[in-house]
Amino acid sequence: MEKTLNRIHPVSDPEATYFLQVSWEKDFGTGFGLLLSDCQCAWTGTVSEADISREAADMEMDREKYVEELRKALIAGEESAGKYNFVIS
C-alpha cells in the first residue's frame, strides 16, 4: 500500500491547517482511502472505483484524465501547490 501525507490550507478557512493522508493499492484509479485531520479531530472515508467512474461520467470527463487530475490534486503535493483549492464543509 502506498500513502502520502500533505498539509493543506483550505480556501474556506485559509488560517487553518489540515493534514490529508491518501492511501491506495497498486493503482490509484481502483479507489483510495482518505484521512483528514486538523490535529484535534480526524475524518476518514473511502472512494471506490465505481465512485471514480461515476464522478468522471458526471463531469463528462475521460476517466483516465479524471484519475490523473485526482492524483495531482490529492497526492502531488508541492508540485501542484496553488493549482488546486480545497474547501472544508
Q: Give the pLDDT confidence of 22-61 residue by residue, as tens digits.
A: 999 988 899 999 999 999 999 999 999 999 999 999 999 9
What pLDDT score does 4 carry? 92
Mean pLDDT, to the nearest integer, of 59-71? 94
What integer pLDDT is reported at residue 54 of this predicted model? 96
Confidence of residue 79 (pLDDT cuts 50, 70, 90): low
CATH number assigned to the domain comprising residue 41: 2.170.210.10
Q: Is residue 9 part of a domain?
A: yes
23 within 8 A of 12, measured Cβ to Cβ:
no
Q: Flag whether pLDDT at 76 surpasses 80.
A: no
Residue 72 falls inside a structural domain: yes
Q: How many distinct structural domains can be found in the chain?
A: 1
Q: 33 in a domain, yes or no?
A: yes
- The answer to whether residue 46 sits within a structural domain is yes
pLDDT at 32: 96
| Domain annotation covers residue 85 | no
The overall average pLDDT reported for the chain is 90
| Euclidean distance between CA atoms 76 and 69, whole angstroms | 10
**Domain extent at residue 46:** 2-80
Question: What count of residues does the chain have?
Answer: 89
pLDDT exceeds cutoff 90 at 9: no
